[in-house]
Structure 1
Amino acid sequence: MSTFRYARFGAALLASAPLAAHAAAEPPPTPAELQQLRDELRALKSDYEARLHALEERLEHAESSRQAVAEAAPAPAVATASAPSGAAFNPKISLILDGGYADYSRSHREPDVAGFLLGDETDPRPSGLSLGETELAVEANVDQSFHAWTTLSVAPEGGIGVEEAYINTLDLPDGFSVKFGRFFSDIGYQNHQHAHAWEFVDAPLVYRAMLGTQLGDDGVQLRWLAPTDTFFEVGTELLRGASFPAGGDGRNGIKAITGFAHLGGDAGLDGSWRLGLSHLRADANRRPTGDEDEPALTFDGKSDLTILDGVYKWAPNGNATVRNAVLQGEYFFRHEHGELVADPDGSADLSRYRGDQQGFYVQGVYQFMPRWRVGLRYDRLFADNDVANAVPDSALDRLADDGHDPQRWSLMTDFSNSEFSRFRLQLSRDVSRPNHIEDDQVFLQYILSLGPHPAHQF
């Protein structure tokens, strides 16, 4: 019994004291009268107990209600002084380190792909130990309407290039968004991914042959996301056209334009998928082939590329930490027509050129236990080129020799010590060069990430 309850009961006893004194002057009560007094006292005590209990319950309920209202109420606004501009600017900064070892059974002094004109950034990794590109990424919300992203690439020789530097809108209505600046195009599936996110050491042959490894350019992108349960988006990009397969002189205006559509969704509890269709129309004006400073050929004309891509991802109950698998593939079809110039700085040879080229890759990567994965990729290219003036033993002649269909097999395994570090071994049998030259390749690669890095797209 609480102190409060004892006090109330004591007061009741004091109130009954005069009655007890008066009773003492009277004759002693009979046993029946004593029992009646005990019953009355018991009833009085019980009544006070009930009333005290009811009051305590009401008090407890009142205190609980007051606390609930206080917790639900919004916190009062607190006036704060304006933060200094340096404190308000707090971007995420990450650094990607890439390097390793490469061994080839054949020399790569002339890294040709039979039947294809290559861009200037398609050379394979250097032989032996080498440092790959170091990537520095900075991103943050500018304000409630814009998000900014910048990626700087530091070449092993020390040169610094701007890989991406773009602005995204955040609050356009009806599912629309705009990106402008320099960015990797959203055509295909792998093109928008940075190299450290690739499943293999190098890009597929079709990317190397038809997009110069990866299409990135200055421009603006408009995208619309449909308000449906099934993922569906469409978009277009207007580009400067400074990158392969456009490129060359006279970049005034819009020299490349793309369009893309993506459709995707879930496949039960374990899987998800996405399909894509893309097209690129590029205008080339003296586009160099091979070394930009000493091109073997230049091309003037139009290049049209269509890409069909698909990816399926599997993980038991959607939990990819222990086991998961990714199956992806892309099919490219390109048509080019225009004029080729061989040895443009010497005795130039001119030729009309039409090329119908196709290619695909398909790959699968399986994580069979935590941190360990294996992967297999197959690449294949086909070329049907018409070169009107195929000068013997020249670059024009090699382009016209389309009797060989380049192909390559690649097997890899990698170990991720954490989400910030990965070590990879890759073995490839490359038969993509003219004259059916076979090249056995061995790669060792490390990829280390320092600092916060946003999750990669699906």
Structure 2
Amino acid sequence: MQQSVTASRLAMMVALALPGPAFADEGDLARLRAEMAALRAQYETRLAELEREVEALAAQPSATAPAPAPAPMGGARPAGASAFNPEVSLVLNGRYRHAEALEEPGITGFVKGGHGHEGEAHGDARRGFLLDESELVLAANVDHLFRGQLNLALVDETVEVEEAWIQTLALGHGATAKAGRFLSGIGYANGQHPHAWDFADPALMYVALFGEHGSYAQDGLQLSWVAPLEQWVEMGIELGRGSAFPGTERDRNGLGATAAFVRTGGDVGDSSSWRAGLSWLGTRAHERESHFEDAVSEEEVAGAFSGTSRMWIVDALWKWAPDGNPAARHLTLQAEAFRRVERGDLACVEDETPACADIGMGDYRTRQWGGYVQGVYQFRRGWRAGLRFDRLSTGTIDYGAASERLERPDFSPTRTSLMLDWSPSEFSRLRLQYARDRSVEAVTDHQWTLQYVMSLGAHPAHAF
């Protein structure tokens, strides 16, 4: 402001100093010239002072901004219930099933396993309108080190804990640890819950190996490691209680089951990818209930098996989608095969049957195998068609001293399934399935299933 006033006064004085009318007094001119000189000197002095101040400020170091407060530890949540925000989902599953009425449902030549929900399970033989299990899932990161997940199966008046585990997030070097109850990493389809199946029921080999529920769960510890290679390679080992079929519940210390797996995979061009794996499971059974047929009296023999059960599973998967985009079209080819060996002692539960009363039981050994192959093709957005073929072999069954009295079926169970499903979104699916089931000797069962699978909420992502 001061500089503006000074400049105005200088301009006025300059104007007055210009030649004017003849009446201007020489004394006035002298006075004005003197004031101009004084003002010019003041202006130059002030300008010099301002220049020195600017130079002094420029020479000083810039002011340092205050350091930000240290961030809280990764994953830390503020106190209060609102900080807990897990992923919550509910899967509703129901169907209508048309099939033959079987006196003894099961698979001929294979011991019938349990793990159903009060007689109800994924591989059961119920008919008509059915409410299958509803699945409630809660999952969240505990903090920056751990993640947890709970899967509850709800069937009528029963609630079963299918999975309840914690998993590490930051072990580093490609290592991960999981503890609690979890679906075993053996095979490929074993890690899938029913709502993720491509068909309305599990493959026959999974029912033969693990009972009507069609999967094997461990109570224990799983350690896995992804190798630092260009190609994806994962290896893992599991140490568990081993109470699920083909094992049994036992009141003792130590391990009841051990499992190991290795799998690898990769991409082939821009449109294809593959995965292959090899798994092993070893468990023990104590007085596991088994039922056989007396070849002479044709009566049922109730036995109790105590011994070891070992199995190997090989799996392969191929996926194709144009340019890697599965939204409109994609094809999945999948196959698994197993070999199981059981060795131990077979005792009679009751001695009333001739086989038990005459010769009793003794050594028991079996070698059985089987597998399935399937293909699922999405031919337009939301629409898929699938074909699956199952085949099992009863293999060799040795009852020891009772081999002459107990029936050993020479039969290979098979099943062919064809399905068509429609998914208007990632949260809903309607499926129609037909199966020609010959898993029971001398019976050809033409099965029709109409199924719905609905998911409410954010569900954890499925594995490849």
Task: Identify the TM-score tier after normalising by the shorter chain.
Answer: 0.7 to 0.9
* Distance across 2 between alignment mates of 1:109 and 1:250: 34
Gaps of 5+ in 2: 1-5, 21-64, 292-299
CA drift of 1:351 comes to: 3.6
Map 1:194-213 to 2 at 5 A: 194-212=193-211, 213=214
Relative distance call for 1:451 and 1:344 in structure 2 (3 A) is farther
1:136-160 per-residue CA deviation (whole Å, 9 max, x = no partner) reads: 111111122111111111113x111
Structure 1 residue 303: deviation in Å?
1.1
8 Å contact from structure 2 (residues 283, 310) kept in 1: yes
Pick aligned residue for 1:438 from 436, 441, 444? 444
Structure 2 vs 1, CA of residues 370 and 15 (structure 1 numbering), >3 Å: closer, same or farther? farther
Q: 2 CA distance for matches of 1:97 and 1:273?
A: 31
Choose the corresponding residue for 1:119, options 113, 116, 121: 113
AA at the equivalent of 1:161: E
Task: Output the CA distance in 2 between the equivalents of 1:74 and 1:23.
Answer: 62
**Residue 286 (structure 1) aligned with residue 287 (structure 2):** yes
**Separation in structure 2 between the aligned mates of residue 233 and residue 352 of structure 1, nearest angstrom:** 38
Task: State the match for 1:93 in structure 2.
Answer: 88
1:171 aligns with 2:198: no
Task: Confirm or deny: 8 A CA contact 2:77 2:83 kept in the other structure.
Answer: no
1:31 aligned partner: none
Amino acid at match of 1:425: L
Equivalent residue pairs, number: 397
* Cα distance change, pair 252–82 in 1 and its aligned pair in 2 (3 A): closer
- Residues 54-89 of structure 1: per-residue CA shift (max 9 Å, x gap): xxxxxxxxxxxxxxxx9xx9987799x983331222
CA distance in 1 between partners of 2:313 and 2:67 (Å): 53
Does residue 454 (structure 1) correspond to residue 460 (structure 2)? The answer is: yes
**Aligned pair partner of 2:432 in 409, 420, 425:** 425
Query: 2:365 touches 2:398 (CA, 8 Å); kept in 1?
Result: yes
Q: How does 1:286-435 map to 2 (within 5 A)?
A: 286-289=287-290, 296-344=302-350, 348=356, 349-388=360-399, 389-390=402-403, 392=405, 396-397=406-407, 400-401=408-409, 403-435=410-442
Larger radius of gyration: 2
Q: 1:328/1:251 Cα in 2 relative to 1: closer, same or farther (>3 Å)?
A: farther
Match of 1:103 in 2: 98
Equivalent residues of 2:105, 2:125 under 8 A apart: no
User: Which one is further off, 334-343 or 267-276?
Assistant: 334-343
CA distance in 2 between partners of 1:414 and 1:345 (Å): 51
Report the CA distance shift for 1:357/1:251 in structure 2 as closer, same or farther (over 3 A): farther
Q: Contact conserved, 1:102 with 1:444, CA < 8 A, in 2?
A: yes
Deviations 1:155-206 (A, max 9, x none): 13x1111111111011112111111111110000000111110100111011
Q: Secondary structure at the match of 1:350?
A: coil
SS across alignment from 2:190: coil
- Aligned residue in 1 for 2:61: none
Q: Is the 8 A contact 1:351 1:387 kept in 2?
A: no
Q: Distance in 2 between matches of 1:234 and 1:88?
A: 35
2:264 corresponds to 1:263: yes
| Corresponding residue SS for 2:78 | coil
Give the secondary structure class of the aligned counterpart of 1:108: coil
Identity of aligned pairs, percent? 43
Q: In structure 1, what is the Cα distance between the partners aligned to 2:71 and 2:341? A: 64
For 2:231 and 2:8, how far apart are their aligned partners in 1?
79
Distance 1:243 1:99, change over 3 A: same
1:224-246 Cα offsets, whole Å, 9 max, x none, are 11122211110000110101111
Structure 1: runs of 5 or more not aligned: 1-10, 26-69
Q: Give the aligned residue type for 2:147.
A: H
Stretch of structure 1 that moved more, 229-238 or 86-95: 86-95
Residues 278 and 314 in structure 2, CA contact (< 8 A), matched pair in contact too: yes
Structure 2 length normalisation: TM-score? 0.78
Please provide the CA RMSD for this pair. Answer: 3.1
Amino acid at match of 1:338: G
Normalised to the residue count of structure 1, the TM-score between the two structures is 0.79
User: 1:228: which partner in 2?
Assistant: 229
Q: Is the 8 A contact 2:139 2:460 kept in 1?
A: no
Deviations 1:81-134 (CA, angstroms, capped at 9, x unpaired)? 983331222211111111111111x22331131221120146525100010001
- Tell me by how many angstroms 1:18 deviates: 9.4
- The one-letter code matched in structure 1 to 2:101 is S
Q: Map of 1:269-280 to 2, 5 A cutoff?
A: 269-280=270-281
Q: In the superposition, relative to structure 1, how do residues 21 and 86 fare at CA in structure 2: closer, same or farther (>3 Å)?
A: closer
| Partners of 2:334 and 2:68 in 1: CA distance | 50
